[in-house]
Chains A and B, each alone.
Chain A
Amino acid sequence: EAGVTQFPSHSVIEKGQTVTLRCDPISGHDNLYWYRRVMGKEIKFLLHFVKESKQDESGMPNNRFLAERTGGTYSTLKVQPAELEDSGVYFCASSQEPARNLNTEAFFGQGTRLTVV
């Protein structure tokens, strides 16, 4: 079974440009999460989808970040326009918790390393 896959693995863009990151969760996983680690900091939660609905987007840093999950399958995270401080590694994770019982693990992708120059 394929794990969580993220594309691209690396991206280098100039300040002011737009970048779109993609995440394909494990098939059948309704829950999809985005996290990121910026240089020297801890891994931080960005947002959580349940199917196509945003369940929690409290970690999104500002309105330059837009996440979508049309159809409840793969998700995209767009950064527009990118700033230098957006550089870091963006992780996607998915899980299959049944409603209300959070007794399962999340599976993470390998991440996308974003460098804004």
Chain B
Amino acid sequence: DAKTTQPPSMDCAEGRAANLPCNHSTISGNEYVYWYRQIHSQGPQYIIHGLKNNETNEMASLIITEDRKSSTLILPHATLRDTAVYYCIVRVAWGSGGSNYKLTFGKGTLLTVNP
């Protein structure tokens, strides 16, 4: 899987948009970008994923650059409960097995939402 690079930490004011960047310059054409987060003492939680197009769901938006070498996760109105470590992960989109299914977690970005 391609490696990702994220800033170790970020701060955001409550109610404002949180924009979390991720670089994945070696991503392959058949790899998705996934975002998970881990709130303290809980298991990782899926947020969103995408291949080429921008994606939006009830939690967040994912903006992927045209060359797919970087992406940004946007939490439109951050709340105190969004304080967590956010992981950007690339993963193959299809495969017949082997090691394709696993998620490779890096260090992530600790997002702190301040009141």
Contact = CB atoms under 8 A, between A and B. Distances in A.
A47 B46 CA distance: 19
A101 interface: yes
Contacts of A55: 97-98, 101
Q: How many A residues are at the interface, by size bracket?
A: 20 to 34
Nearest to B43: A108
Interface in A89-117: 91, 93, 95, 97, 99-103, 105-111
A102 B95 contact: yes
Contacts of A50: 97
Contacts, number: 68
Contacts of A58: 99
Contacts of B97: 50, 55-56
A110 B41 CA distance: 8
Interface in A34-68: 35, 42-45, 48, 50, 55-56, 58-59
Nearest to A42: B105
A107 B47 CA distance: 11
Given A43-B44, A110-B43, A102 B99 contact: no
Contact of A107 (B46, B91, B107): B46
Contacts of A44: 105
A31 interface: yes
B106 A97 contact: no
Contacts of A31: 101
Given A31-B101, A45-B102, A45-B104, A102 B45 contact: no
17 contacts: A4-B43, A31-B101, A33-B102, A35-B103, A43-B105, A44-B105, A48-B101, A50-B97, A55-B97, A58-B99, A59-B102, A97-B101, A101-B93, A102-B91, A102-B101, A106-B46, A108-B44
Interface of B: 32, 34, 38, 42-46, 49, 91-107
